[in-house]
Amino acid sequence: MNVVRIGIIGIGNMGSAHANNIFQGKVDNLILTAVCDIDESKLLWAKQTLDEQVSIYTDYHLLLKSGLVDAVLIATPHKLHPIIAIDAFAAKLHVLTEKPAGTNTLQVRRMNELAKKSGKIFAIMYNQRTNPMFAHLKKLVEDGELGEMKRFVWIISNWYRTQAYYDSGEWRASWNGEGGGVLLNQCPHNLDIWQWITGMPTKIRSFCKYGHFHSINVEDDVTILAEYANSATAVFITSTGEYPGTNRLEYSGTRGKAVIEDGILKIYRLEADEREICYKSKEGFPNIEVHYEEIIQERPETGHIGILQNFTNAILYDEDLLAPGNEGIYGLTISNAAYMSDWLDTWVDIPMDEKLFSQMLGERQIKEKEVTIKNEDSKEGIDGEYKERWQVRW
């Protein structure tokens, strides 16, 4: 095999963009052979835009069985990701899914079991992992250059959305459609990058505000506290209601600090470990020497194309996945634990009680079906600059 034939299931905002990229040959050795959607306008778009050699399906089961694809890219509403992925592994296909892998960790665990059983590649569209700033900080931390972690603070409030955005699809910002709000739709990248850099916390305490800035059922304003095995602290602050928002990440360790803001990574290195200075110094307020370095993002992140290329290379040449499917569980665990902490008004230990979470989410989904607060004039297509949102926004 020297090329991978891929089918895209769901050609809405994201899926159509992926289709364009692949169709235009932006990914080496990856060919678009099929697409699938249930929406007439999207099928029309596909007919008008894509080659005749790209088959069009309305039933994804037929796409999976068509023999036309080696792999699928799933870009449907979140709750369908696990269902379709599981069917795809059963059909012996490689799977790349949009984030989040699912809306609860039980599903993602199951997806990974079936991926393993099938022997197929399973990856997640965590395109922000291709951002050089995050990758650089991750390496600094892994190499121990900042010492042991003390604190991590991420203010990520530049996910601004209007009410029109939420009104643009019934599934948006609902417990049934997305399984949550800003944590499930906007923040999966951030939650993933957070744990990618620091590792997983051991407990979570969260405060969610539901319909705080918008007329929606789910959360659009969240503060998460987390604690680690070494008793380090993290704070994660997000909303979709602030303008202009902030994207500022700070990692503080025993040998220094790093801050990413405005696309610049600022590194403050200490010569010695602060923990030793603390107990050995005879000064109360010492001025410890700090070596400062500033790294500016020079090349753009490779983004979706980078992830698509990595997925293709993993299939063809056993290249290591940048965002393997089994890592899809981590960020999702943080958001699930954050919901449960807020609902139970207490700390949630990790690993968490996944069954209890499933049950509590289910209760919200049932209750939501009884009352809907969606505007009647909701529409699928919305204006705006969706495409700019793919890159990390500083």
Whether 242 and 182 have beta carbons less than 8 Å apart is answered as no
The number of CA neighbours under 13 Å toward the Cβ of 61 is 1
| CA pair distance 233, 150, nearest whole angstrom | 6
Residue from 256, 325, 328, 331 that binds a copy of itself (CB under 8 A)?
256
| Nearest CB to a copy of itself, comparing residues 143 and 383 | 383
- Do 55 and 31 form a contact (C-beta atoms < 8 A)? no
Q: In angstroms, what is the minimal distance from the CB of 299 to a copy of itself?
A: 24
40 binds a copy of itself (CB under 8 A): no
259 binds a copy of itself (CB under 8 A): yes
Q: 44-51, long-range: CB within 8 Å, 24+ apart, which pairs? A: 45/11, 45/16, 46/11, 46/19, 49/16, 49/19, 49/20, 49/23, 50/19, 50/23, 51/23
Nearer to a copy of itself, 105 or 157 (CB): 157
DSSP letters, 40-83, are HHHHHHHHHHS-TTSEEESSHHHHHHSSS-SEEEE-S-TTHHHH
The CA distance from 234 to 201, in Å, is: 8
Nearest distance from C-beta of residue 52 to a copy of itself, angstroms: 33
Q: Which amino acid is at 326?
A: N
> Is 377 among the residues that bind a copy of itself (CB under 8 A)?
no
268, 343, 390, 394: residue in contact with a copy of itself (rule CB under 8 A): 268
List the one residue from 42, 161, 304, 364 that touches a copy of itself (CB under 8 A): 161
Query: According to CB under 8 A, which one of 38, 62, 90, 164 is a site residue for a copy of itself?
Result: 164
152 - beta bridge partners?
234, 251
Q: How far is CA 321 from CA 71, 126, 306, 310, in A?
A: 15, 11, 11, 6
Smallest distance, Å, CB 215 to a copy of itself? Answer: 8
* Nearest CB to a copy of itself, comparing residues 274 and 301: 274
Considering the rule CB under 8 A, would residue 160 count as an interface residue with a copy of itself?
yes
| Residue 153 engages a copy of itself in binding (rule: CB under 8 A) | yes
- Of the residues 207, 343, 390, 394, which one makes contact with a copy of itself according to CB under 8 A: 207
Contact status: 189 vs a copy of itself (CB under 8 A): no
Minimum distance of a copy of itself from residue 286's CB (angstroms): 6
How many residues bind a copy of itself, per CB under 8 A?
60
> By CB under 8 A, which span of 16-24, 89-97, 328-336, 386-394 interacts with a copy of itself?
386-394
Strands 122-124 and 94-97: parallel
Residues near 109 by Cβ (< 8 Å), separated by ≥ 6?
Answer: 329, 354
Q: Is the omega angle on the peptide bond into residue 244 within 30 degrees of 0, that is, cis?
A: yes
User: Angle formed by the axes of helices 13-23 and 303-317, to 10°?
Assistant: 60
Which of 40, 51, 52, 283 forms a contact with a copy of itself (CB under 8 A)?
A: 283
Summarize as ranges the residues that interact with a copy of itself (CB under 8 A): 150-151, 153, 155, 157, 160-165, 168, 205, 207, 209, 212-214, 221, 223, 225, 231, 233, 235, 237, 239, 241-246, 248, 250, 252, 256-257, 259, 268, 270, 274, 277-279, 281-288, 290, 382-386, 388-389
